[in-house]
Structure 1
Amino acid sequence: MLEDKAHKYETAVLVGLITQHQDEEKLVEYMDELEFLADTAGATVIKRFTQKLTQPDPKTFIGSGKAQEIRDYVKENEVGTVIFDDELSPSQLKNLEREIEVKILDRTNLILDIFAQRAQTSYARTQVELAQYQYLLPRLTRMWTHLERQKGGIGMRGPGETEIETDRRIIRDRISLLKEKLKTIDRQMATQRNNRGKVVRAALVGYTNVGKSTLMNAISKSEVFAENKLFATLDTTVRKVVIGNLPFLLTDTVGFIRKLPTQLVESFKSTLDEVREADLLIHVVDISHESFEDHIDSVNQILMEINAHQKPMVMVFNKIDDFSYEKKEEDDLTPETRKNISLSEWQKTWMSKSKYPTVFISALTKENFPEMKKLIYDEVLKIHISRFPYNDFLFEYHEEEEND
């Protein structure tokens, strides 16, 4: 029983670097996010270790003194896992495991583990398995602690094939098989997208845990899984939505994250195709998060990488229920920070002057929903009229329908 409890509540420490490209403030943000990732994966973080280096050590990522400090701490406190905020090279991973003598994970491995836990459908599981194998292949040597054994016998007296090479070949074969399987499913999903005809398609995009699934449920009156965890949604969900009397398709997609593993970008190609082929992007932002501007930049960067950055877009700033409308009475000497700025003051910033239509809402309380729906309606109607220029008279927005 104790073993089950210990396994369920695995303890971990986090490790991050302050470098010339990442100052202390930025590191704190990343470490906060890493702790949230660890919590989502099922680990309890009990300590953080940071070090200031010009650049990561090519052998162990951190300095030898810091590695010894971490080793002493994890032994003394019986910590089972050390999680690094950046992706480690195969040699760094191997050297750290030898030095610290506990399980070492990097940010990429942690995200892959969460994806493996969250994948519900066969398609999502296949995507995650492919990403895991692609991550594992160059790191395979660290899994073997025994001596390499040569296969002998007649016709096998040459160098032969080591067990590691055998496993590499098996994994490469598995990767090829999974890629072919995904290609088949991708073709099926592309056919499904084509069969949706000329109906306007909108896709919810945004950083992970900003409330996309909650918003999807509220707009489409469906039951998409939503939870206050990172990557609660992995499987693409498409629902038919009618605002006023104008129908369109709404897609909920996997959330983005900073330092998104390249293996996942490749594996989740079909999910990203839903974004690439959408007519309208609804970019959902958690305005209550202190790093929401960085989140916007991260999402825009990924949209640029998949060549979807020039699409029509609506900016939806969510979670306004975490703000007051007016600034609270405080001492004039109290410095203005993100914590005490009011919603009305936020609305006067660059956000309201964005080149995209912008609205501030709460998906939880449905505050400002009529305004948001009217905004989405207007953008969908523009696209619809461009396709069917002679039947725009059929659609008329009735605000009273949105107030029930």
Structure 2
Amino acid sequence: MLEKEKINFERTVLVGIVTQFQNEDKLKEYLDELAFLTFTAGGEVVKRFWQKLDRPNPKTFLGTGKMDEIHLFVKEHGISTVIFDDELSPSQQKNISKILDCKVLDRTNLILDIFAQRAETSYARTQVELAQCQYLLPRLSGMWTHLERQKGGIGLRGPGETEIETDRRIVRDRIALLKDKIRTIDKQMAVQRSNRGAMVRVALVGYTNVGKSTLMNAVGKSDVFVENKLFATLDTTVRKVVVKNLPFLLSDTVGFIRKLPTQLIESFKSTLDEVREADLLLHVVDISHPDFEEHIESVNQILTDIKSSDKPTLMIFNKIDAYQHDSIAEDDLTTERTRKHYTLEEWKQTWMSHLGEDHTIFISATEKANFEEFREKVYEAVRKIHITRFPYNKFLFPDYKDAVENA
């Protein structure tokens, strides 16, 4: 079975650039992530190409020599797909496809393809299709390869342009239809959210593949799909959770990623509304990932973009069971001590200490390590919101008056 899957993997090549804003180390991180995205989509990365440039070539993204080198490799090794780490303009994608004579994708296109694979519900499929149509519209002319034979002349001018314009009209109509459909579903979901009663809403947010769904299953006793791939969960799952005597709503949301396509932010607006309307955010971080600090920055940037950065937040540093650090011998006086040498205890003394002990928790969702501490801190955070926002409940909060004064 495994051999069959390997045969079906598309042989791919990854391409990136080093610029004044992105050094070699940063490019390697991005290409590592792009390789994981490619694996998630069903591709096998055969080779990576990169080039140092002040800025991308406006016509072909890379220089002529590098494009010839990639073309030769593609031809000799039977490569079916070339994936660029940055978003290509419609003209760049058209020019590159002509040169390489194979399928050319960019990071945005790849993420959209993964979302299309992962969409389970009608709503998620509608959101993904809208994003795909918005991405496709300006690229239609470049995708009509069967029109390349038109060199002008009698009888060869009008029909091609008419066909492209017809397709553009079809896609525009489809976008309008999908937007209407999403607006209708958004209204229904808004009513559902308003009918959830006077319960505090807690949303799990974080980079993709940090363990949000695993945590959701462990806390909410739900059955959310979990897989060690990017964007395993697209549909928002909401569960009622009770910690001690306090009920609240916990939602699992789509994972964020660096260079998240703007089309997805727009089409997944309603999914992100779960974050916007949440009273408390649980920002889950994969502490075992070498780039976890940059993942935090990416998530915080998206939270800022959707105007949710000022919400009460607990930082949940997950996967402590998988955390590893490089060690330095006591007599080693040549090796410089960097972040990769920090133990978990040393990390807690860095910028994390400024977050406050009440707002940071180190756990393992799979091993359920430190889960009692996690439940206690979530309970306290939810309780603080509840007693200041909702009517007095003497059964839940017999010490209500004292709690309000101390909140």
Contact 2:287 2:320 in 1 (8 A): yes
Contact 2:288 2:324 in 1 (8 A): no
Contact 2:325 2:342 in 1 (8 A): no
Q: Deviations over 1:80-135 (max 9, x none)?
A: 11000000000000000011111100000000000000000111001001100110
How far off is 1:143 after superposition?
1.8
Check if 1:186 corresponds to 2:186: yes
Specify every segment of 5 or more residues in structure 2 that has no aligned partner in the other structure, as ranges: 151-156, 400-407
Contact 1:324 1:343 in 2 (8 A): no
Contact 1:244 1:396 in 2 (8 A): no
In structure 2, the partner of 1:128 is 128
Contact 2:147 2:160 in 1 (8 A): no
Contact 1:12 1:82 in 2 (8 A): yes
Tell me how large the CA RMSD over aligned residues is: 2.4
Contact 1:203 1:252 in 2 (8 A): yes
Contact 1:148 1:163 in 2 (8 A): no
Contact 1:112 1:131 in 2 (8 A): yes
Shift of the 324–70 alpha-carbon distance from structure 1 to 2, 3 Å rule, reads: closer
TM-score of the two chains, using structure 2 as the length reference: 0.90
Find runs of 4+ consecutive structure 1 residues off by over 2 angstroms: 4-7, 145-150, 157-161, 323-341, 388-397
| Structure 2 counterpart of 1:313, one-letter code | T
How far off is 1:353 after superposition?
2.1
In structure 1, the partner of 2:361 is 359
Contact 2:135 2:263 in 1 (8 A): yes
Q: How many residues are treated as equivalent by the alignment?
A: 389
Residue 351 of structure 1 aligns to a residue whose secondary structure is helix
In structure 2, the partner of 1:372 is 374
In structure 2, the partner of 1:400 is none
- Range with bigger deviation, 171-180 or 337-346: 337-346
Q: Hey, what's the Cα distance between the residues in 2 that align with 1:37 and 1:270?
A: 24
Q: Deviations over 1:351-374 (max 9, x none)?
A: 132157111111111111111111
How far off is 1:390 after superposition?
3.1
TM-score of the two chains, using structure 1 as the length reference: 0.91
Residue 62 of structure 1 aligns to a residue whose secondary structure is coil
Q: Deviations over 1:318-344 (max 9, x none)?
A: 010023799786653454344442222
In structure 2, the partner of 1:77 is 77
In structure 2, the partner of 1:234 is 234
Counterparts of 1:171-210 in structure 2 under 5 Å? Answer: 171-210=171-210
Residue 36 of structure 1 aligns to a residue whose secondary structure is helix
Shift of the 290–189 alpha-carbon distance from structure 1 to 2, 3 Å rule, reads: same
Q: Deviations over 1:266-320 (max 9, x none)?
A: 1100000000000000000001111111110100100000001111111000010
Counterparts of 1:339-354 in structure 2 under 5 Å? Answer: 339-354=340-355
How far off is 1:21 after superposition?
1.3
How far off is 1:5 after superposition?
6.4
Shift of the 324–58 alpha-carbon distance from structure 1 to 2, 3 Å rule, reads: closer
Q: Hey, what's the Cα distance between the residues in 2 that align with 1:86 and 1:188?
A: 36
- Range with bigger deviation, 271-280 or 328-337: 328-337
Shift of the 57–222 alpha-carbon distance from structure 1 to 2, 3 Å rule, reads: same
Contact 1:285 1:318 in 2 (8 A): yes
Contact 1:385 1:392 in 2 (8 A): no
In structure 1, the partner of 2:393 is 391
Q: Deviations over 1:120-179 (max 9, x none)?
A: 0111001001100110000001221234899xxxxxx99996100000000100010000
Q: Hey, what's the Cα distance between the residues in 2 that align with 1:140 and 1:339?
A: 46
In structure 1, the partner of 2:402 is none
